[in-house]
Structure 1
């Protein structure tokens, strides 16, 4: 009875701060659910302990054996606890991502099908409070299960020596929490875009986000968690020579992890803004046009920070060495631009409304033009979210060109053996980038034209046409390249032999 009264009082206080969170907790923190989750958590911990207990040495020359001159002296308990600690540090982020993303997507999809999501939009709560309530409340039982496993992790880390005496934040923990937060923000956004299959959303989030953070965690598992070899691993680390605009971001563990955290926090914030925007207005574009300009500029600056103008070597015969830059410019960057096109495109009804009422609204303004850039039409196309995003896409492509073409020119001028910008692979790179940006602009024109057609699903027609434009030409060139390899000269990727 006392526990029930305490929980009721706590929920009332939470309800004063965030009614949506209180609603989610009241629906999930039932005695049956708490007992079930507690039992599953303790069962998983017991299974993990028994798995490692089975590996304890029963004779000589087995795992966790302490030997001196070939003679068994006992059990290496610190290493045993260390393996348990590392196993828990790998399990809990993956479990939170997979199970939590599934729970969030299925909950939002169920609310949308019942119509209660529209009711939440009509409440006086802000969209941020509602989404925070979902973020904290829907996986609350999952959080409880992880919290019950915390003592085992602390116990194992203490005996292994990985829990420091200072209050310095654990880098692995910080990156893991941020990885879970990114996945949860994506899980909030995907149902608002129409994806209602929880398993599909969980799969998409996992294949995109989880490998990135697992690679970070693989670096940190030996570097940050083991105090006995962190200095050696940091010295031998790939990140040691990392510089971002000449800032040594790999100089020590704290700076490296801090750079990772800031780099991941920026896209997390953009995804959160998109989820809030889409929750308030389900028919609005995912991001507004002003945000798109800032996003594109931020991405280019972030990538350019790792590249000095004379940092990548140039071979006059074979072109750029280090194809990761070419891969970014001609594969990753076009993919990001196509995603940006989809994010900026308003709904079919919004486009029709803008086209129908624009002439009536701005008749007087058209008779008194104020110049091209100051005209109402251009300002509308650049900033109005309901207008076609074609001019905004063109401006974003212009931002990319303005960022990279001067960078290539500086690289040509500072590279020994290259006497002119028009010589060697730099010209290939500039022309290839211009061809790529021109292709993306044509794809945007085709997509916007198809969004205006009278069809059952114009967005599907637009997406399918853009995919065909991307896939068909390289496929045809690949079939005919043996007979006439010169046709690849019309491809937008320079020096395709480097891939």
Structure 2
């Protein structure tokens, strides 16, 4: 990169200058452009090789097939007639393939580079040096997001003219192509912000987090992409419940609108059929309106970026603090529950709403359970933070010293009550949104909310208790215990073949919402599980309170107690 451009970048944002200077070497730039050019050439050759030229070849790119084998029209010399080849369909396939491939590369490799960079900075000790920099946190974080994957951006920019040409050759309107590019850029900002946050949180894992995060993202991306394609018109690309929220966060969800503008029948194309995209949110059609779908996906990305940056800036300045304050977590929970509720009320493709809704409630509660486990990691403080809180809480002003106030709003206090309040907000919105319109489902919704809440609070209490351990590997112990609690009931149920009504173990697991939402449990069965789980919660929190009182005692008090002992 020319020196004067680097200098200008350095004046505006020194962190971007630092990242660019370390990566934009002549050799790296040449290799990056070479890989991009070779990949484009291979893609072009592959699709060009699909064009039939002689009689025995068959192809989907025949405009006028002479039989059911899709053989194109030929002249007297058995050569395929040029005018019988559907070049527009060929370029459409090429456009869609490159689009999905570029998104996958940007997401997966960008995530890998960012988390690896934070891990290296932490191992070298330069991460603490960056924190002491006089630059503002948003400039440093922005410099990381723009600079670390900058060579990846260069490779994509080099491929952009070819991709744009294939889209125009397929007769996709230019404004739709450009808006798609903008949405991909917004999705990258969202994914990269999440990756950087993962890097900050897991910078002591020794590098394993890099492969875990990028590998998990690759699996999720591949699964949802294959689902959303709807190949051969044989797959419904809408689930009609809250799980649709995950699939709508893919930028390729906008591709059916681009495909529908091309001069081909949807049956001929065979994928990304706009007629299969019957998604609705609170009754508003997202599958038939390009503007509404685009706006909805963009707003979700922007809100996600906002919350991620709240956590990034907070964690950047205070590496040992929680990712979000308790006050902000309540707003986040309320917003998330509204988004999921909008997908929960979708009209099913089969059956009646009354038959479909209990399963939708189960999917809603299942996602809330997943979110709550993430909330534990976001809000749960560690041993030293709790020790400081319990030891110096009496030094706060008298009007701010109340225990309940601290547990609800304090940033250093245990998180169990705050998680309970988050669940109260979420399930209050669920009840207010569904019960007035579907009163016959009150029992299903109530027992799903109750069982889900007690299971989550039990897990949260145990995790908070483990994080009070003296062991320096308490985070690993907490993660291992959480995974054990999560998987053991399910594995035992499969091992012993437990079925309804003998499925008590499953009511202690993450799948409990899907069980209790679909069919009412016997009152004694429900009461027994709630009482037993509540006893675990009370016992663990009582033991945690005892340990906190012990932690709150000063060293002098402990010495005097030891001397006075007989």
Distance 1:480 1:109, change over 3 A: closer
Of 13-22 and 305-314, the range deviating more from structure 2 = 305-314
The residue aligned with 1:468 is 484
Q: Distance between the aligned counterparts of 2:182 and 2:387, measured in 1?
A: 46
Aligned partner (choices 40, 43, 52) of residue 47 of structure 2: 52
Q: Distance between the aligned counterparts of 2:103 and 2:273, measured in 1?
A: 27
The residue aligned with 1:422 is none
Of 155-164 and 57-66, the range deviating more from structure 2 = 57-66
The residue aligned with 1:134 is 144
Any conservation in 2 of the 1:224–1:230 contact (CA below 8 Å)?
Answer: no
Q: Distance between the aligned counterparts of 2:514 and 2:160, measured in 1?
A: 52
Aligned partner (choices 299, 319, 328) of residue 282 of structure 1: 319
Q: Does 1:191 align with 2:199?
A: yes
Aligned partner (choices 380, 384, 396) of residue 422 of structure 2: 396
Q: Does 1:455 align with 2:463?
A: no
Q: Does 1:323 align with 2:359?
A: yes
CA-CA distance at 1:146 after TM superposition: 1.4
The DSSP-based 3-state class of the residue aligned with 2:167 is: helix
Any conservation in 2 of the 1:481–1:488 contact (CA below 8 Å)?
Answer: no
Q: Does 1:40 align with 2:35?
A: yes
Aligned partner (choices 368, 372, 381) of residue 337 of structure 1: 372
Of 17-26 and 55-64, the range deviating more from structure 2 = 55-64
Q: Distance between the aligned counterparts of 2:499 and 2:212, measured in 1?
A: 42
Aligned partner (choices 58, 62, 85) of residue 95 of structure 2: 85
CA-CA distance at 1:460 after TM superposition: 2.9
The residue aligned with 1:237 is 275
The residue aligned with 2:309 is 272
Q: Distance between the aligned counterparts of 1:76 and 1:305, measured in 2?
A: 41
Distance 1:441 1:327, change over 3 A: same
CA-CA distance at 1:18 after TM superposition: 0.6
Any conservation in 1 of the 2:382–2:468 contact (CA below 8 Å)?
Answer: no
Q: Does 1:381 align with 2:393?
A: no
The residue aligned with 2:70 is none
Distance 1:447 1:175, change over 3 A: same
Q: Distance between the aligned counterparts of 2:301 and 2:476, measured in 1?
A: 31
Aligned partner (choices 373, 384, 387) of residue 349 of structure 1: 384
Aligned partner (choices 219, 232, 240) of residue 207 of structure 1: 219
The residue aligned with 1:62 is 58
**TM-score, normalised via structure 2 length:** 0.74
Deviation sequence 1:432-491 (CA, Å, 0-9, x none): 311221222222222222222322322333333344334334444555565984454993
The residue aligned with 2:6 is 11
Equivalences for residues 248-267 of structure 1 within 5 A: 248-267=285-304
Any conservation in 2 of the 1:18–1:133 contact (CA below 8 Å)?
Answer: yes
The residue aligned with 2:69 is none
The residue aligned with 1:161 is 171
Q: Distance between the aligned counterparts of 2:150 and 2:422, measured in 1?
A: 41
Deviation sequence 1:271-309 (CA, Å, 0-9, x none): 232222222211111221122111110011112223459
Distance 1:287 1:408, change over 3 A: same
The DSSP-based 3-state class of the residue aligned with 1:302 is: helix
Deviation sequence 1:156-185 (CA, Å, 0-9, x none): 222221243xx4564533443233222211
Any conservation in 1 of the 2:362–2:518 contact (CA below 8 Å)?
Answer: no
What number of residue pairs does the alignment pair up? Answer: 468
Any conservation in 2 of the 1:289–1:382 contact (CA below 8 Å)?
Answer: yes
Q: Distance between the aligned counterparts of 1:225 and 1:314, measured in 2?
A: 31
Q: Distance between the aligned counterparts of 1:49 and 1:293, measured in 2?
A: 51
Gaps of 5+ in 2: 67-72, 75-79, 229-249, 520-566
Of 282-291 and 257-266, the range deviating more from structure 2 = 257-266
The residue aligned with 1:300 is 337
Any conservation in 2 of the 1:107–1:138 contact (CA below 8 Å)?
Answer: yes
**TM-score, normalised via structure 1 length:** 0.83
CA RMSD of superposed structures (Å): 3.2
The residue aligned with 2:122 is 112
The residue aligned with 1:73 is 81
The DSSP-based 3-state class of the residue aligned with 1:287 is: coil
Gaps of 5+ in 1: 419-424
Any conservation in 1 of the 2:281–2:342 contact (CA below 8 Å)?
Answer: yes
Q: Distance between the aligned counterparts of 1:470 and 1:478, measured in 2?
A: 14
Q: Distance between the aligned counterparts of 2:211 and 2:499, measured in 1?
A: 45
Q: Distance between the aligned counterparts of 1:109 and 1:489, measured in 2?
A: 39
Distance 1:483 1:339, change over 3 A: closer
Q: Distance between the aligned counterparts of 2:12 and 2:263, measured in 1?
A: 45
Deviation sequence 1:44-74 (CA, Å, 0-9, x none): 1222222223223221353334548644421
CA-CA distance at 1:246 after TM superposition: 3.8
Distance 1:217 1:270, change over 3 A: closer
Distance 1:497 1:438, change over 3 A: closer
Distance 1:489 1:91, change over 3 A: closer
The DSSP-based 3-state class of the residue aligned with 2:81 is: strand
Distance 1:8 1:465, change over 3 A: same
Any conservation in 2 of the 1:250–1:256 contact (CA below 8 Å)?
Answer: yes
Equivalences for residues 360-375 of structure 1 within 5 A: 361-362=395-396, 365=398
